[in-house]
Amino acid sequence: MRQSQLFTKTRKEAPSDEVAKNAQLLIRAGYIHKEMAGVYSFLPLGLRVMNKVIGIIREEMNAIGGQELHLTALQDPRIWEATGRWDDAAVDNWFKTKVKVGGEVGLAFTHEEPITRLATNHIRSYKDLPFSAYQFQTKFRNESRAKSGILRGREFLMKDLYSFSRDQKEHKRFYERVIGAYKKIFARAGIGEQTFVTFASGGSFSKFSHEFQTLSVSGEDTIHICEKCRVAVNDEIIKEQNACPDCGNKNLTQEKAVEVGNVFTLGMRFAQALGLSYLDEKGEKKFVEMGSYGIGPGRLMGVVVELLADEKGIVWPTSIAPFAVHLIVLPSEDAAVGESADALYEKLCKAGVEVLYDDRDLRPGEKFADSDLIGIPTRIVVSEKTHAGGKFEVKDRKSGKVEMLSESNLLSVLKTL
């Protein structure tokens, strides 16, 4: 895309009321727009990153057999009353609204209830199980605090996966597959090294649930890492047992972290409350064992920004960058310089490389500052100097390493990305 056509502009300062680093950088670089506290719109660059994150998660959900669907935001009180979660005394972050023709509806903060009721229309026999279904859907949470940018909002996108199994053993097998899929997702998104499977309280149905926690100085959570096992325990668990649940190691390292995903055993709680049962091989009625598994793609994006940014701006991993290449042409009296940049842009597009082409009429310093702020992994500069030398200047955003490459070398390097 030609940057002269991109309607968003960078800005030198973040809004004065924005305290979160992720939001400050993302707003300054033109990725997001703050509508209200905890409510952010995604601008063209931001939506591109979001779609990359969604694409990675979708591939890994499909790989474990998840079937994608799309539930609604508006929620029928009846199913939430059946599980005891409609009352504001039970759930303190509902948004509720009145229907003109009478009655009240809620805005979904999660989707266990509707997907359980939905499943009752399709599940009869043991032959219909197991299955799992997931969605990317907006959640609404009436949070009292909303100062963490896109890490914790009142409205945010969530990937939520739900599993339906015949028994605990079948459930446990799928649960472990989700943990494997989540590890792949965080590794592909560039934060695998800093992300720990973390033991958390399991609720009524299992000893533990699991969180995925990513180290971050701005994290709201504290985790206790077992370096030997590369797992962690959260603050709840450390009070009960001051040791790694895997190896018993008591020498744990305390760190601040952000929860980027969770996997949870639901047992038969929702199935019993909403009548989701099946007939087993003997014709006996059994309730379905469920699990739920969440990742917030926006939060993941925000964590990546917080973790990898440097003093100049955002540093995207290639896998979720809005573009692979930021091509910059510097102003010149010599028309051949611009023509050479135009030609390279066309060639890169034809080769399937995603390019943001800074063809704007701006000073070099402004272009470089914008490029550092936006954080596209590879920068290519075309100038009088590079044009005279017959090569292109290629700079890696993360390492700062600069190379001079011929066009053919450049194209072969970019094809490996």
Is the Cβ of residue 105 or residue 369 nearer to its own copies in the bound state? 105
Q: C-beta of 293: minimal distance to its own copies in Å?
A: 16
Is the Cβ of residue 147 or residue 286 nearer to its own copies in the bound state? 147
Q: C-beta of 243: minimal distance to its own copies in Å?
A: 39
Of 411, 277, 272, which Cα lies nearest the Cα of 343? 411
Is the Cβ of residue 37 or residue 404 nearer to its own copies in the bound state? 37
Is the Cβ of residue 74 or residue 388 nearer to its own copies in the bound state? 74
Is the Cβ of residue 99 or residue 335 nearer to its own copies in the bound state? 99
Q: C-beta of 376: minimal distance to its own copies in Å?
A: 17
Give helix 335-350 / helix 407-415 axis angle, nearest 10°.
30
Of 165, 177, 175, which Cα lies nearest the Cα of 207? 175
Q: Is-contact 190 215, C-beta < 8 A?
A: no
Is the Cβ of residue 8 or residue 332 nearer to its own copies in the bound state? 8
Q: C-beta of 204: minimal distance to its own copies in Å?
A: 26
Residues 6+ apart with CB under 8 A from 172: none
Is the Cβ of residue 31 or residue 186 nearer to its own copies in the bound state? 31
Is the Cβ of residue 145 or residue 282 nearer to its own copies in the bound state? 145
Residue 267 and residue 203: Cα distance in Å, rounded?
10
Q: Is-contact 155 124, C-beta < 8 A?
A: no
Q: C-beta of 143: minimal distance to its own copies in Å?
A: 8
Q: Which two tokens stand for residue 38?
A: 């905890």
Q: C-beta of 11: minimal distance to its own copies in Å?
A: 8
Is the Cβ of residue 7 or residue 399 nearer to its own copies in the bound state? 7
Q: C-beta of 73: minimal distance to its own copies in Å?
A: 6
Give helix 297-308 / helix 44-63 axis angle, nearest 10°.
110
Is the Cβ of residue 31 or residue 175 nearer to its own copies in the bound state? 31
Q: C-beta of 390: minimal distance to its own copies in Å?
A: 33
Q: Is-contact 266 112, C-beta < 8 A?
A: yes
Cα 5 to the center of its chain, rounded Å: 27
Q: Which two tokens stand for residue 358?
A: 């800074």
Residues 6+ apart with CB under 8 A from 82: 113, 273, 274
Using the 8-state DSSP alphabet, how is residue 90 labeled?
A: T
Q: C-beta of 92: minimal distance to its own copies in Å?
A: 8
Q: C-beta of 124: minimal distance to its own copies in Å?
A: 8
DSSP string for 202-259: -TTS-SEEEEEEEE-TT-SEEEEEETTTTEEEEHHHHHH-SS-TTT----PEEEEEEE
Residue 88 and residue 106: Cα distance in Å, rounded?
11
Binding site for its own copies (CB under 8 A): 5-9, 11, 30, 33, 35-36, 39-44, 46-47, 50, 65, 67-76, 92-93, 95-101, 105, 107, 114, 118-119, 121-123, 128, 131, 133, 138, 140, 142-144, 154-155, 164
Q: How many CB atoms lie within 10 A of CB 144?
A: 6
- Phi and psi for 17 in degrees, rounded to 5? -90, 5
